[in-house]
């Protein structure tokens, strides 16, 4: 990025954040002008381009509320229903060329900011940003989408090989989310010998058969390089991989990966590997919309806030109440005011308060609840800055999979039918995303009781049945979970059977921290390490799914 261009982008950030209100109002007007005649908006606005009417009449919706419209577009009806075109399962998010252009501006913003804060970043160099395409899904409205079944393993291998061959030019290493980078490091553990051997001989492994991979590598792996192979083997051969990222990519200045929100669970792991390189979460985006960028990329993850850029989408915020004393944001405060009335504009949010973000986009989403809870930490010029608090209704998440409390309950209840013929009852369960190894997995704690017995003794559990239980839970989980299992970004689900009384001990622990027994509810997903340790210390049997998702 040329200096003049970087400066122009930094000026654009200043301008946007200073004129946040005006830009938001103009954007809403533009969206209404463009889309007031669509079937969806026309229903509420009668073709009028009136911002007040929009706020009064257009409902605040979730994906489920508008799914039938999206399904109609997916099934070939004109996108003028909403505007936009279809995306891919599991959520089809409508989009337009304009919306895609907006999305493409994000890397420019984040690069300009990174260069400002890391002035040691030279102007010439490369970034290894691991990217993986998902297979395109064909829909009746997009028959041209030839299914490109990309092989993640081949892709990951070649990206690593290419990056190591050019290690002296790599200024930053990254991936969208921390979980992906953790998996890439795990992959490296399995494949480093082969990668080094390819470098030594200049010959690409025969199992790399994808023409795009072979073609791409032919210009990078051009001949034998035994010196580099020796050097890398020496680094990989160390017993501890502490600081390995810095050793492998010696001129890298940082690790560009989101480590806020659910991803903060991977921070310690990546910090261990990074060798002191700053781990920077540069932006906050989603499939539905882009929100903002991190203007202080060198901040610790716990201090990261994202400054919303008002040209990215029209933003509204539903106030969210905090549970007394609890860290977790809770449901919308019910005060007799409708959601629509309680939504506040971008510039009107209050520092210290939590909100659920609602977006209206050029892509065809109108007052859409993204499902993220954010906390206002301050303002940059006139644009608010938000800390990511949590994903609403998500209990388990290893990668970008999201399993809600009710989905988990349903899946577990379904699986426990297998225990009925054995006379066994599931008395309590909880779960957590175990990311101590990469890839992470869902670990469920189950406390079982023999219907026929009043003692604490359990019969020896049949491993086959328990494995089937694991598989049954997995089968009930959603498309994204199964997809990540298939490509090995999530490891097989585990059930840890705990001694009877384990959940009482868990409750005692929470009570000792100030919870009231009468209000105590067993958390179905544990976040607190101490709580997880309590259950782990009571485990009497571990079982893993052997289900094959390929």
Task: Give the Å distances, CA to CA, from 378 to 18, 20, 347, 479, 496.
Answer: 14, 14, 11, 38, 43
Minimum CB separation of residue 500 from ligand AMP in Å reads: 37
* Binding of ligand AMP by 346 (CB under 6 A): no
The torsion region of residue 127 among left (phi > 0), alpha (psi -120 to 50) and beta comes to beta
- Asked if 281 touches ligand AMP (CB under 6 A), the answer is yes
Min CB(264)–ligand AMP separation in Å: 8
Q: Is 127 in the site for ligand AMP (CB under 6 A)?
A: no
- Shortest Å distance, C-beta 275 to ligand AMP: 23
Shortest separation between residue 306's beta carbon and ligand AMP, angstroms: 6
- Which residue shows structure tokens 């560009």? 256
Q: What is the DSSP letter of 437?
A: S
CB of 287 to ligand AMP, least distance (A): 3
Stretch that binds ligand AMP, among 63-71, 198-206, 281-289, 529-537 (CB under 6 A): 281-289
Give me Rg for the CA atoms of the chain.
25
Give, for 256, the enclosing helix (H) or strand (E): strand 254-258
d(CA 42, CA 57): 11
Q: Does 388 participate in binding ligand AMP (rule CB under 6 A)?
A: yes
Q: Please, what is the minimum distance in Å from the beta carbon of residue 12 to ligand AMP?
A: 21
CB 484 → ligand AMP: shortest distance, Å? 11
Question: Rounded to 5 degrees, what are φ and ψ at 202?
Answer: 80, 15
Q: Which is nearer to ligand AMP, 16 or 281 (CB)?
A: 281
Helix (H) or strand (E) holding 341: helix 339-342
Nearer to ligand AMP, 164 or 489 (CB): 489
* Span near ligand AMP by CB under 6 A; candidates 21-29, 152-160, 278-286, 359-367: 278-286
Site string for ligand AMP, 282-321 (x = CB under 6 A): --xxxx----------------------------------
Site for ligand AMP in 397-426 (CB under 6 A): 400
CB of 388 to ligand AMP, least distance (A): 4
Q: How far is the CB of 370 from ligand AMP (least distance, A)?
A: 5
Helix (H, G, I), strand (E, B) or coil at 166: coil
Does position 483 bind ligand AMP by CB under 6 A?
A: no
User: 356 or 434, CB closer to ligand AMP?
Assistant: 356
Question: What is the β-pairing status of strands 403-404 and 329-332?
Answer: unpaired
Shortest Cβ 447–ligand AMP spacing (Å): 31
- Beta carbon nearer to ligand AMP, 248 or 259: 259
Q: What is the dihedral of CA 48, 50, 55, 59, to 10 degrees?
A: 20
465 sits in which H/E element: helix 463-476
Q: Which of 173, 218, 167, 221 is nearest to 194 (CA)?
A: 221
306 - beta bridge partners?
A: 386
Query: What torsion, rounded to 10 degrees, do the Cα atoms 76, 77, 83, 87 define?
Result: -20
Residue 547 Cα distances to 239, 415, 436, 484, 493, angstroms: 33, 14, 22, 13, 9
Asked whether position 370 contacts ligand AMP by CB under 6 A, the answer is: yes
| Binding residues for ligand AMP, total number by CB under 6 A | 13
> Taking the complex as a whole, how short is the minimal distance between the CB of residue 490 and ligand AMP, in angstroms?
14
Give the nearer residue to ligand AMP in terms of CB position, either 396 or 502.
396
Please give the Cα distance from 57 to 338 (Å, whole number): 12
Instruction: Give percent helix, percent strand, percent coil of the chain, each to the nearest 5.
Output: 40, 20, 35
CB of 241 or CB of 284, closer to ligand AMP: 284
Closer Cβ to ligand AMP, 87 or 275, answer by number: 87
Q: How many CB atoms lie within 10 A of CB 248?
A: 24
Binding mask 249-268 for ligand AMP (x = CB under 6 A): ---------x-xx-------
Query: Shortest Cβ contact with ligand AMP: which residue?
Result: 261
CB nearer to ligand AMP: give 16 or 260.
260
Dihedral sign for Cα atoms in the order 234, 236, 238, 239: negative
Binding of ligand AMP at residue 391 (CB under 6 A)? yes
Instruction: Give the footprint of ligand AMP on this chain (CB under 6 A).
Output: 258, 260-261, 281, 284-287, 370, 372, 388, 391, 400
């Amino acid at each position: 990025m040329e200096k003049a261009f970087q400066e122009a982008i930094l000026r654009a950030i200043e301008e946007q954040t200073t004129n946040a209100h005006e830009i938001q109002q103009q954007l809403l007007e533009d969206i209404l002008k463009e889309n007031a005649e669509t079937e969806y908006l026309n229903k509420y606005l009668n073709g009028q381009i009136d911002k007040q009417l929009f706020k009064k009449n257009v409902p605040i919706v979730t994906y489920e509320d508008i799914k039938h419209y999206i399904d109609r577009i997916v099934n070939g009806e004109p996108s003028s229903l909403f505007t936009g075109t279809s995306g891919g399962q599991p959520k089809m998010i409508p989009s337009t060329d304009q919306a895609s252009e907006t999305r493409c501006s994000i890397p420019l913003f984040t690069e300009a900011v990174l260069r400002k804060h890391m002035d040691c970043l030279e102007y010439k160099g490369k970034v290894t940003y691991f990217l993986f395409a998902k297979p395109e899904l064909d829909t009746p409205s997009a028959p041209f989408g030839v299914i490109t079944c990309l092989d993640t393993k081949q892709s990951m291998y070649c990206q690593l090989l290419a990056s190591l061959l050019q290690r002296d030019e790599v200024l930053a290493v990254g991936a969208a989310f921390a979980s992906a980078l953790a998996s890439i490091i795990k992959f490296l553990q399995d494949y480093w010998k082969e990668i080094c051997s390819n470098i030594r001989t200049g010959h690409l492994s025969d199992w790399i058969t994808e023409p795009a991979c072979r073609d791409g590598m032919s210009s990078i792996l051009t001949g034998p390089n035994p010196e580099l192979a020796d050097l890398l083997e020496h680094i990989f051969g160390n017993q501890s991989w502490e600081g390995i990222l810095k050793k492998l990519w010696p001129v890298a200045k940082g690790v560009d990966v989101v480590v806020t929100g659910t991803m903060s669970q991977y921070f310690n792991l990546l910090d261990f590997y990074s060798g002191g390189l700053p781990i920077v979460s540069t932006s906050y985006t989603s499939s539905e919309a882009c929100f903002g960028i991190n203007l202080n990329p060198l901040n610790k993850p716990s201090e990261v806030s994202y400054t919303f850029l008002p040209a990215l989408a029209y933003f509204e915020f539903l106030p969210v109440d905090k549970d007394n004393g609890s860290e977790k944001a809770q449901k919308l405060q019910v005060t007799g005011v409708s959601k629509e009335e309680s939504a506040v504009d971008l510039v009107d949010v209050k520092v210290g308060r939590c909100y659920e973000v609602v977006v209206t986009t050029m892509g065809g989403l109108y007052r859409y609840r993204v499902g993220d809870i954010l906390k206002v930490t301050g303002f940059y010029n006139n644009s608010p800055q938000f800390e990511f608090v949590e994903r609403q209704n998500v209990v388990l998440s290893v990668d970008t999979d999201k399993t809600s409390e009710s989905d988990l309950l349903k899946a577990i209840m379904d699986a426990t039918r297998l225990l009925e013929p054995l006379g066994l009852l599931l008395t309590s369960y909880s779960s957590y995303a175990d990311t101590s190894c990469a890839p992470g997995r869902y670990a469920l704690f189950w406390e079982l009781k023999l219907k026929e017995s009043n003692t604490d003794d359990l019969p020896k559990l049949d491993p086959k049945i328990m494995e089937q239980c694991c598989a049954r839970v997995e089968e009930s989980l959603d498309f994204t979970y199964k997809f990540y299992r298939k490509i090995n970004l999530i490891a097989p689900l585990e059930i840890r059977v705990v001694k009877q009384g384990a959940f009482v001990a868990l409750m005692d622990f929470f009570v000792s921290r100030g919870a009231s027994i009468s209000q105590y509810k067993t958390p179905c997903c544990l976040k607190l390490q101490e709580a997880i340790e309590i259950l782990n210390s009571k485990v009497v049997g571990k079982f893993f799914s052997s289900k094959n998702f390929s």
